[in-house]
Structure 1
Amino acid sequence: MSDQRSESPVDTSLLAGEIRVVLGQLVRRLREQAEGSDLTKSQSSVLLRLERDGAATATALARAEGVRPQSMAKIIQVLQDAGLVTGSPDPNDGRKTLLSLTEAAREQFRTGRRAKEDWLARALEAGFSAAEIRQLSACTDLLRRLGQFP
């Protein structure tokens, strides 16, 4: 009789919960590294969308963010007052205003990303062996695929 051991299957529900908790902890730690911003999540989300997708109208932003146009107008006003968003006439329709990031907002993104990446690099160098760093490196592709799952 052969001594074949079959590994017990992983409970994907338990794994899903563990991944959610661990990634949530990591995201919170990363956010701590870029402190200094008094922006709400909604305001930050609008800035991220403008950075990722480029200039947009307030109506398009409201639709994409799932908020009422009146709520988006308030968000935009705060961002404009903070010098993070600017408006310019839409070249295709002069009645509309295209909103885009200011250089100050772009610099804020760069500074925040640098702080997060510096913290991660220090954490990896101080708390992980070379073998563990290789394991984490191998996991990044798997996590990317997980994040892209529809």
Structure 2
Amino acid sequence: MTDSSVTSAHDSAALAAALRISLGKLSRRLREQTHANDFTSAQKSVLLRLDRDGPATVSALARAESVRPQSMRITVAGLEAMQAVSGQPDPCDGRQTLITLTPALRKHLTESRAAKDDWLLRALHEQLSPQEQDELAAAVALLERLADF
């Protein structure tokens, strides 16, 4: 290895660590902008999947989340008890139940996202110059590529 490749590898490792730390701090700051809730990480994952992909059966959710159907039934039952999701017969197969987000949960998601967006917009305007905002926009495209890797 040449000196420049050692330096480059070290710089990349430092960049990876700094990026992880910065994204973690930003995620925590965004979470602070909404009310605390009692959802577990598994429940949050199911709620986000239903929001993104629409209604699904417990079996489909279990496959998508790589968990056993029995575990997903427990997660969904907890969400139903919290009135975050509801089940209705599948119009294509009445033996199946489609799980969907309740209107109250959809409203909560919308309000939560708006609070996070408001905070982030304020932070962008107060902390970054227009040139820095342009640089950040370019960095976001790179972050999206990393996230899709």
Q: Same fold (TM over 0.5)?
A: yes
Q: Supply the distance in 1 between the matched residues of 2:93 and 2:134 (Cα, whole angstroms).
A: 52
Question: What does residue 22 of structure 1 align with?
Answer: 22
With 62-71 and 111-120 compared, the bigger mean Cα shift is at 62-71
Q: 1:135 and 1:13 mapped to 2: Cα distance?
A: 22
Is 1:82 the counterpart of 2:82 in the alignment? yes
> Tell me, what secondary structure is at the counterpart of 1:88?
strand
CA drift of 1:61 comes to 0.9
Which residue of structure 2 lines up, in the alignment, with residue 72 of structure 1?
Answer: 72
Q: Distance in 2 between matches of 1:67 and 1:108?
A: 26
Q: Distance in 2 between matches of 1:73 and 1:148?
A: 29
Shift of the alpha carbon at 1:66?
2.0
Within-5 A mapping of 1:134-145: 134-145=134-145
Mean CA deviation greater in 107-116 or 71-80: 71-80
Identical residues among aligned pairs (%):
51
Partner of 2:128: 128
2:34 aligned residue: 34
**Aligned equivalents of 1:101, 1:23: Cα separation in 2:** 28
Aligned residues: 143
Q: Which has the higher helix share?
A: 2
Unaligned runs of 5+ in 1: 1-5
1:148 corresponds to which residue?
148
DSSP 3-state at the match of 1:95 = coil
Larger Rg: 1
- Amino acid aligned to 1:115: A
Give me the whole-angstrom Cα distance separating, in 1, the residues matched to 2:24 and 2:108. 23
Cα distance, 1:23 vs. partner? 1.0
Structure 1 length as normaliser, TM-score? Answer: 0.86
Aligned-residue offset at 1:130: 2.3
Cα deviation, residue 19, structure 1 = 1.4
- 1:117-144 per-residue CA deviation (whole Å, 9 max, x = no partner) reads 1110111122222222222122111111
Between the aligned partners of 1:66 and 1:35, the Cα distance in structure 2 is 29
The 5-angstrom pairing of residues 49-68 of structure 1 reads 49-68=49-68
Deviation at 1:36, TM superposition (A): 3.0
Task: Supply the distance in 1 between the matched residues of 2:107 and 2:95 (Cα, whole angstroms).
Answer: 30
Number of the residue aligned with 1:92:
92
Q: What SS is found at the alignment partner of 2:88?
A: strand
Structure 1: how far apart are the matches of 2:8 and 2:114? 40
Structure 2, gaps ≥5 residues long:
none
Q: Bigger CA drift: 50-59 or 14-23?
A: 14-23
